Amino acid sequence: MKRLMPLLLLLFCSAAAADSGAYRVEVIVFRNLDVVAEPAVVEQLRSFSGFPDLQQEPSAGELPDTAQVDPPPGLPAAQADIYRADLPDDLQVITGKSKLMDNVWRRLRSSKGYRPLLSSAWQQNRVDYYPPVHIHDQQVLDNQLRPPTPVMVADLTADDPLSTYRSNLYRLDGSVQLRRSRFLHLDLDLELREKLQVTVTEAVYSNPAFNAVDSDQYQVFSLHQSRQVQTDRMQYFDTPYFGALVLVTTIQAD
19, 184 Cβ separation under 8 angstroms: no
Measured in residues, the chain has a length of 254
Residue 149, in any domain of the structure: yes
Residue 16, in any domain of the structure: no
Q: Provide the strand spans (E) within 33-150.
A: 40-42, 92-93, 114-125, 133-136, 140-145
Predicted confidence at residue 155, as pLDDT, reads 67
Residue 185, in any domain of the structure: yes
Residue 209, in any domain of the structure: yes
Give the whole-angstrom CA distance, residue 225 versus residue 223: 6
The total domain count for the chain is: 1
In the chain, which residues have pLDDT < 70? 1-20, 56-89, 146-156, 158-165, 199-215, 254
Predicted confidence at residue 103, as pLDDT, reads 97
Predicted confidence at residue 7, as pLDDT, reads 56
Q: Provide the strand spans (E) within 33-137.
A: 40-42, 92-93, 114-125, 133-136
Residue 246, in any domain of the structure: yes
Residue 96, in any domain of the structure: yes
Predicted confidence at residue 62, as pLDDT, reads 38
Q: Is 100 exposed, middle or buried (0-12, 13-18, 19+ CB in 10 A)?
A: middle
Residue 127, in any domain of the structure: yes
Residues 6 or more apart whose Cβ sits within 8 Å of residue 138: 55, 170
Range of the domain at 127: 5-11+21-251
Residue 7 backbone zone (phi > 0: left; psi -120 to 50: alpha; other: beta): alpha
Predicted confidence at residue 136, as pLDDT, reads 97
